[in-house]
Amino acid sequence: MRKILVTGGAGFIGSNFVRMALAEHPDCFVVNLDKLTYAGNLENLAGFENHSNHKFIKGDICDGSLIERIIDEFKIDSIINFAAETHVDRSITEPKIFIETNVAGTLTLLEAARDKKLNRFIQISTDEVYGALGPEGKFTENTPLSPNSPYSASKASADLLVRAFGHTWGVKYNITRCSNNYGPYQFPEKLIPLMLNNALNDKDLPVYGDGLQIRDWLYVYDHCTAVWKVLTETRPGEIYNIGGCNEKTNIDIVRLILNRLDKPESLIKHVTDRPGHDRRYAIDASKIIGQLKWRPSVSFEQGLNKTIEWYLASRKWLENVVSGDYQKYYDSMYKNR
């Protein structure tokens, strides 16, 4: 039986990964370590809390002795590190926690992986480490790192630490760099669920600047299947870009959502741009497609429809996550834009 420590498994991608692993791979046991920050939510694991191959532990990836205890007690063979502070806008207002979790937390996990001689350490990174593109070209695994925000700088720093632990101590690692994910259980501070939530409540849809920035969208389930393939089918030391080949401008995404919900475009409000806003991301995923025969399972249209249906059917989940502190965050963030 494969014994995996998944960190950040109560967040958006981590919880989708835990669900997929437990549903599709009965030969794995998942220990799910999550600090339950504002972005972590046990409701994301509904139906899987008491699964016999799943153990949830509330804790911090910066807590080295806890990590070592977990590895020993559950005989962990691999770590997949999803845990992170992930919102670019928050990294611009409060960068420190991004360094603590994304850099120091990854270092703590790497030390444990090295000392306990784990079979594999998978670092879930991001295409944002490559910086921004002009109108042409795509990021390959060989594109130099050139992060532009405190968030992407913290993720690039973590990637370099992972590489250094591989080079210096032989830690068996892989790094995955993925484009923008969308799908069920995404916290509504991110573009698609934020716009969905606002449109459902007939609130303004705050589009940064001209809205012509481009992101390359990937359905979250397809990201999860790619990570599973990297865990189970690769040799250590390889880096894989993961993307869905779905470049869209932000304004087009917002219009699609309004159209699908039958809401007027007059809800769109162009607001002050994000400082240092990256203009375009686009992933060249030919390495993972060629070597691991990974393919996205849905088109963007299918994925967006599934996502919208999920949010429409999950109004209680949405109400719960936007209540309390999130509303305060949203009001302070958008009040003066």
Q: Binds 40, which of ligand NAD, ligand DAU, none (CB < 5 to 8 A, cut-off by type)?
A: ligand NAD
Q: Is 241 in the site for ligand NAD (CB under 6 A)?
A: no
**Which H or E run contains 169?**
helix 150-169
Minimum CB distance to ligand DAU, residue 181 (Å): 7
Burial (0-12, 13-18, 19+ Cβ within 10 Å), 151: buried
- Answer whether 256's CB lies under 8 Å from 249's CB: no
Q: Is 124 in the site for ligand NAD (CB under 6 A)?
A: yes
Q: Is 86 in the site for ligand DAU (CB under 6 A)?
A: yes
Extract the tokens encoding 337.
Answer: 């834009």
Distance CA 178, CA 241 (A): 6
249: β partners: 214
Closest CA to 309 of 265, 261, 251, 259: 261
Q: Is 191 in the site for ligand DAU (CB under 6 A)?
A: yes
Q: Is 222 in the site for ligand DAU (CB under 6 A)?
A: no
Q: Is 194 in the site for ligand DAU (CB under 6 A)?
A: yes
- Answer whether 79's CB lies under 8 Å from 7's CB: yes
Pick from 12, 29, 98, 240: which binds ligand NAD (CB under 6 A)? 12
Residues 6+ apart with CB under 8 A from 76: 3, 4, 5, 31, 70, 116, 118
Q: Is 138 in the site for ligand NAD (CB under 6 A)?
A: no
Pick from 7, 81, 102, 179: which binds ligand DAU (CB under 6 A)? 179
Q: Is 215 in the site for ligand DAU (CB under 6 A)?
A: yes
Pick from 206, 243, 296, 303: which binds ligand DAU (CB under 6 A)? 206
Question: How many residues are listed for the chain in this entry?
Answer: 337
Q: Is 166 in the site for ligand NAD (CB under 6 A)?
A: no
Extract the tokens encoding 281.
Answer: 């991301």
Q: Is 329 in the site for ligand DAU (CB under 6 A)?
A: no
173 vs 281, which CB is nearer to ligand DAU? 281
Pick from 19, 138, 190, 229: which binds ligand DAU (CB under 6 A)? 190
Distance CA 31, CA 177 (A): 23
Minimum CB distance to ligand DAU, residue 66 (Å): 25
Pick from 18, 60, 147, 184: which binds ligand NAD (CB under 6 A)? 60
Q: Which residue has the closest beta carbon to ligand DAU?
A: 126
96 vs 269, which CB is nearer to ligand NAD? 96
Q: Is 245 in the site for ligand DAU (CB under 6 A)?
A: no
Can you give 65-134 as a three-state secondary structure string?
HHHHHHHHHHCCCEEEECCCCCCHHHHHHCCHHHHHHHHHHHHHHHHHHHHCCCCEEEEEEEHHHHCCCC
Closest CA to 242 of 274, 280, 286: 286
Q: Is 106 in the site for ligand DAU (CB under 6 A)?
A: no
206: β partners: 269
Binding residues for ligand NAD, rule CB under 6 A, total 31
| Catalytic machinery residues | 127-128, 151
Give me the residues that bind ligand NAD (CB under 6 A), please: 7-8, 10-14, 33-37, 39-40, 60-62, 82-86, 101, 105, 124, 126, 155, 178, 180-181, 187
Give me the residues that bind ligand DAU (CB under 6 A), please: 86-88, 126-128, 179-180, 190-191, 194, 206-208, 213, 215, 250, 274, 281
